[in-house]
Structure 1
Amino acid sequence: RSQTIQALIKRHRETEPDATLLLMRPPGRHRYGVIRRDATGRIVGIQEGGGTGGEVFAGVAVWNCDFLRRRLPKVKPDEEKGEIHLTAVVDGDGRFEGVECAYEEGMGVNDASDLAAATAIMRRRIIAQHLNNGVLIPAPDLVYIEDGVEIAPRALIEPFCVIRRGVKIGAGCVVGPFSHLRAGTVLEDGAEVGNFVECKKTRLGRRAKAKHLSYLGDGDVGEGANIGAGTIFANWDGRKKHKTVVGKGAFVGSGSLLGAPCKVGDRATTGAGAVVTRGKEVPAGDVWVGVPAKPLKKSAAKEQTE
């Protein structure tokens, strides 16, 4: 945390030692350098090789440059591995201060297990910040939200959602369960994305809904539109990606495939299983059905009554 680094610098300026070290106390066995102190409590060394519990060096320090210029030329490589350890300059001949931090702040990442642990810590911090801002997350341990996500107060994030960096979620939105929102996705106030829906670089307007089993890639969905279960925005033509536009109040039937670039106009409807091919536009208010999708013809009886 920035506050910890600021505290480290402040202590160094106040006490003017040869170095001020960031210290922590890991639980159980570890591979950190162990702090050695004399009978008076003065830091007199750092023993590399790890240990169990105790006080260790977190690998962060503020150094006196003159001290380093004098001492670094005298540091010899480790006899076993041939490595040069900066910690070798910390001994009984210098004056050293320490500032202790929580283990979660100072822990190192040396393998996949460490990375997973550090990621979990950061995820909890990110989710805690959203909760403090008024976002509703009923199961915080079952949601993955990356840094760089904007979520307005009163939005609801259901369990088992993955929300990537660069996503914006408005007030009163509902996400999940089991939703995946990728970079560039924008949910305007009151929009809803539900079970097994993946959105990438797509805007859903106010109160628009995509509740089930859909992929919405490179799209623009108008206010109040409804995206039926199983809808696919087929944005990739094998060479580049294209945009799909769904107008205000439009109704996209279950299982529709919209081949980008294409457009479904305001208040237009596609029937279940319709395939709107690339380059086509469903005019405002029209109903298109079939494979490939075409305008639904009115019956003769209906035409006579109009």
Structure 2
Amino acid sequence: MHLAVYLPLLFPLLAAPGARRLADRLEPRPATLLLTAGAVVLAAGSTTVLGLLALAGLVRIPLIARLAELSPAVLQRDDPAWIPVAVVAAPLLLAVVATGSRFAVHRVRAVCAAVLEAACFPGEDPVVVLEERAADAFAMPGLPGRIVVSTGMLQSLDAGEREVLLAHERAHLRGHHYLFTAAVQLAAAVNPLLRSTADEVAYTVERWADEAAVRATGDRRRVAVTVGKAALAAKNSGGRRRLPAAALGLLGRSRRGEAPGPVPRRVAALLSPRPTGGGWRGVAATVYVAAAALCTADAVQDLHEVVRRAKGG
């Protein structure tokens, strides 16, 4: 195996600063798609490399090499992977698999619970109004899903602002935004270096829904005012209730269950011209992710060739 096998472990180091720039300079929809795909590729690459390093060390154990009918001499000559690296990679791989599996199971259960809860609301109206003082609004996935709005939120907005709110939540349902957040959060669970990328995707899906509300109402300033008023209403009404794990709301997700998401950043984006000129950043990010994928594929092919030669030797 070549030393390039370690590169996929290093690629995620640049994800944090790159993700922030892409989220700010690209349109929300392509930014979400690119950041999510990039996080998944980087997480898959780092996990694959951990597996390759662990396997490379495993097959160099004489007993295992003999059981697999591999030549220890060929493995020693053609595979420069260090045994200490393999010893470190193996427990890391187990931890990654355990963490990723636990998150995946939790998220699948959360989505199923949200779909079931959405189906259990009475009536067929996609908008469900809850008698609740705390101002809140969120979209729950389902077939086709529900938009849940509290009376506290409705009382804090005028008719035009309620239209903005509903357009925002419909965009979440129509775009299946919970799938993007789930995918990138799984990637972050597998590789903690991607947590900032997961935060940026949580922001870009809200921006995606904000821009959908702008297209529906034709008024960027009204959408910005609505987001700001909703955040103040939530704060003044005694706090928001915790969002269901698979739901997305007008105010975004709370950090550690406390303050609302990056509302000021979204308001500033809505009051500014739509982002332009970020195309080259998207191209550069695509090339970066492609390079990570190619390095991972090369490492897999390299180990395959080493094992093939060891079989013949």
Higher relative contact order (CA closer than 8 Å, sequence separation 6+):
2
* TM range, smaller chain: under 0.3
> Please, what TM-score do these two structures have when normalized by structure 2?
0.18
> Please, what TM-score do these two structures have when normalized by structure 1?
0.18
Larger % of helix: which? 2
